[in-house]
Structure 1
Amino acid sequence: MIGVTTAAHAGYYVSTTANTGRGYNRGCQAGYNSGGDVGASFLVNDGSRCACNPAGFLSQQNAAVTVSGSTDTTGTLTASHDESSVVALPDAAYATAAADLATGQVHLSVSAANFSEASASAHLSDTLHFTIAGASSDTVTLIPISFAFDGKLSGTNDPATASGELNYGFYFGNAQAYEFGDYGAGYYGYNNTYPTFVFASDPRVNGWVSYSFGSYDPLNTQFTGLYAIIGATADIGIDFDLGLRGTGLDYTNTGSVSIGKVDGVSFTSDSGVFLQAAAAPSAVPEPASWALMIGGFGMVGGVMRRRRPSVSFG
C-alpha cells in the first residue's frame, strides 16, 4: 500500500500510473500518489526519479525522444487522471489511467507500436465504517460486494509482435479475489496466441462466505461475493486495482466496485466520498438468484442474519 503522510488521509488514497517507453529509450511515468510519491508527479521511468521534460529528453543512447504527457495537478486524494505518451520515431506509445473513489471506477488504456511499450495502472483504496441497525455482538450480516471490468483489444496489432497483459486485485477486509500471473492475469502474445486473450490460471479467491463469477474473461470479468460482518459495527478496508501492459488494450469503458443495498446496513468512509457519485445500488437479488451461492448455509435470501453459533464458516 502506498502510504499518505497526513493523518486525515491515512485511510484512503488513489494511485494512477501511465507509463510509456520504447526498448531501452526512456519514457515518462505520470502518477498521483504513485510509487511512494505524495501528490502529482511526472518522472522519467528509468529509476532516476528525474522530472520528465514535456518538450523532450535524451534516451540512454542519446537518441532524441520527443515526449508529451500530463498529470492532473488539480486532482485530489479521491480522484486522479494521468496521461503519458512517447514518440521515438518510427514508433510511438500512449497510456492513460484514471481513478475516482466517488464513483468507485477506474479507466485505463494502453497503445504502442511494434516493439514499443505502454503500461497503465489505477488503484482505489478506502476504509469503510459499517453500522448494522438492531444487530447484537454475535449477529452475522452478509453483505454483497461486487467488482467488474471489461475492455477490448484495440488497434491493428501485428500478430508477429503483438502482446498484452492484464492484472487485477480486489480486497475487502480479509477477503480477496485477484490474479497476478507470471505473464499477468490475462495474456496474449506473439507466440501463436494472438489474438486469444484468456486468464493464465484460475482466480485466487478466499475469505468470502460464498462467491460467484458471472463472467471470467480478461475482456469481461464480473464478480460478486458475500462478506460476513459480525456484530453491530465493523471497520473494513477496500482496495481495487487494475493494470495493463501491451500494444493495444482499451479499458476506458470502466472498471467498478459496488456494495449491495441491505436493509438496516449503512456505512461511511474515511474519504468521505466513497461511492457517493455512483449509481444507486440495486436491491439485494431475489432469493432464487442467490440460492446456489448461499445454499450451503441453509439460507433462502440474499442477506439473512443468524446468531453466531448457528453459522458454520468452513
Structure 2
Amino acid sequence: MRKYLMAAVAAGSFAIAGSANAAVVFGELTGGNALSNGGVFEQLNPAPGFSVGNNNQQSNNLFAFDEVQSVTLTAAVGGLTAGTVVNSHYVFFDPRRTRRAIGYVDFDSEVLAVLTTQADLTDTDMLLGNANVNYLSPNLRGLESSDIATFAGNRLDLNFRASSPGDFVRVLTVATAVPEPASWAMMIGGFGLVGGAMRRRRKATTKVSYA
C-alpha cells in the first residue's frame, strides 16, 4: 500500500510543474520632454515581421513587449550565472528627434537583471528574443552614459535621452512555475488516490471483537 501512496503523491508533485506567463503589467511616462510632447507608455504584442532597433518607431512613446518565458541561460550575462531560468521582456524609446523619457515599467515578477549593452543584447537575441521580432543591431544599440536604468522588486525605473538609433534594454525577471489547468486536474486526482488508498488501508486493518 505504501507504494501506491508514494505513486499518487509523486503524480501530484509532477503536475505542479508548469510555465508561468511572463508579462509586462503596466508602465508610465512621468517626466521629460517626451511626455510634454504627447508621449505615453505603449505595450506591444508584435505580429510576425515586426522590426525594432534602428529608428523604426520614431515616436515619443515608451514601448515594451514580452519575449520568451521560462528559458534557461546558456551563459553568464547581466550578472546572472548560466543555468538561471528567466522570463524576458524588451523596453525601448525611439523618438524622431532628441527627447528625454522619464518613467517606469512594472512586471509580474521580480526583476533580476537589465541588459544594456549592444554586445549583451545581440548575444541574447536568439535565445531570449520574441520569435515575431526582427532585432536590428546598429552601433549604439543599448544605453549610453547619459541614460539610467535601475530596478527594485518588480519595477524598472528609467531615464533615457535618445535620438538615433534609440535606447533599448532587455529586462530579465524571475520565472515562476505555476500549475496549468490540466495539471490542477491531475494533482486533484492524485490527492484523491491518496485519500482512497488511506481509507482502504484503514478498512483492511480494522478488527472487530465480540464481548
Greater RCO structure (CA 8 Å; 6+ sep): 2
Give the greater-gyration-radius structure (CA).
2
Higher helix share: 2
For the criterion TM > 0.5, the same-fold answer is no
Higher strand share: 1
Give the TM-score normalised by the residue count of structure 2: 0.32
